[in-house]
Copies of this chain bind each other. A is one copy, B any other.
Amino acid sequence: MMGIRAQQKEKTRRALVDAAFNQLNAERSFSSLSLREVAREAKIAPTSFYRHFKDMNELGLTMVDEGGLTLRQMMRKGRQRAEAGGSVIRISVDTFMEVLESNPNVFRILLHERSGTSAPFRAAVAREIEHFISELAHYTEATAKRSPELARAQAEALVTLVFNAGAAALDMKRVDRKILADRLVIQLRMVAKGSEALQHKMDK
């Protein structure tokens, strides 16, 4: 069991992480946050920050990991929904858009730091995205009988298109998101269809 002291520490740590997430929005990226701003929002003295993180980078990496986890958990829930029947693509896209809407800031940090200036950050985001890709590749390889290479290329393309649409959707109103989602579904179908065609060509 956790002592009173450890509990309080954990609480403050959470306050820091939450403070950082809350400060993210379309005009504010993680790298533009200062240690002092985060500390201010979390209502602790700037110097107390160091009791929890070595520096802002460490906080950021924590956020990326946490964000990736949240994301995967939510998508997994969506997949369960898909098992009930219906178009896997459609349901996945809808789930994704819902996640996007309810956790925009989790997305922002992933999307922004993916092309950010810190190599460790980029690596961390790449790792998270890699989870999605390989899960999807295995799924496709098994259910649609693709060669490993093709399954991999296909999964990568799908994830790329989805994430990219996600980035665009972040700035949009609901109506425009709907249009975007519809187009995304078409694009994903293109990839799926095309991959199938390439597989057939290889098979004969």
Interface residues of A (CB under 8 A from B): 26-29, 31-32, 111-112, 114-119, 122, 150, 152-154, 156-157, 160-161, 164, 167, 171, 183, 186-187, 189-195, 197-198
* Contacts beyond the supplied A29-B117, A114-B115, A190-B197: 4 A-B pairs with Cβ under 8 Å: A29-B116, A112-B116, A157-B161, A189-B194
- Distance of A116 from chain B, by nearest CB (Å): 7
Among candidates B164, B190, B194, B195, residue contacting A164 with C-beta atoms closer than 8 Å: B164
Closest residue on chain B to residue A164 by CB atoms: B160
Among A167, A171, A187, chain B packs the most CB atoms within 10 A around the CB of: A187
Whether the Cβ atoms of A187 and B32 lie closer than 8 Å is no
For the complex, what is the distance from the CA of A122 to the CA of B171, rounded to whole Å? 10
- Distance of A114 from chain B, by nearest CB (Å): 7
For the complex, what is the distance from the CA of A26 to the CA of B156, rounded to whole Å? 23
B-side contacts of A195, CB under 8 Å: 190, 194
Whether the Cβ atoms of B156 and A32 lie closer than 8 Å is no
- Distance of A173 from chain B, by nearest CB (Å): 15
Among candidates B115, B116, B117, B154, residue contacting A190 with C-beta atoms closer than 8 Å: B154
- Distance of A37 from chain B, by nearest CB (Å): 14
- Distance of A56 from chain B, by nearest CB (Å): 13
For the complex, what is the distance from the CA of A24 to the CA of B156, rounded to whole Å? 28
Task: Sort A-B residue pairs by CB-CB distance and give the 5 closest, nearest first.
Answer: A194-B194, A190-B194, A193-B194, A157-B187, A193-B197
For the complex, what is the distance from the CA of A107 to the CA of B118, rounded to whole Å? 17
Whether the Cβ atoms of A198 and B193 lie closer than 8 Å is yes
For the complex, what is the distance from the CA of A190 to the CA of B191, rounded to whole Å? 5
Among candidates B111, B117, B167, B187, residue contacting A153 with C-beta atoms closer than 8 Å: B187
Whether the Cβ atoms of B198 and A186 lie closer than 8 Å is yes
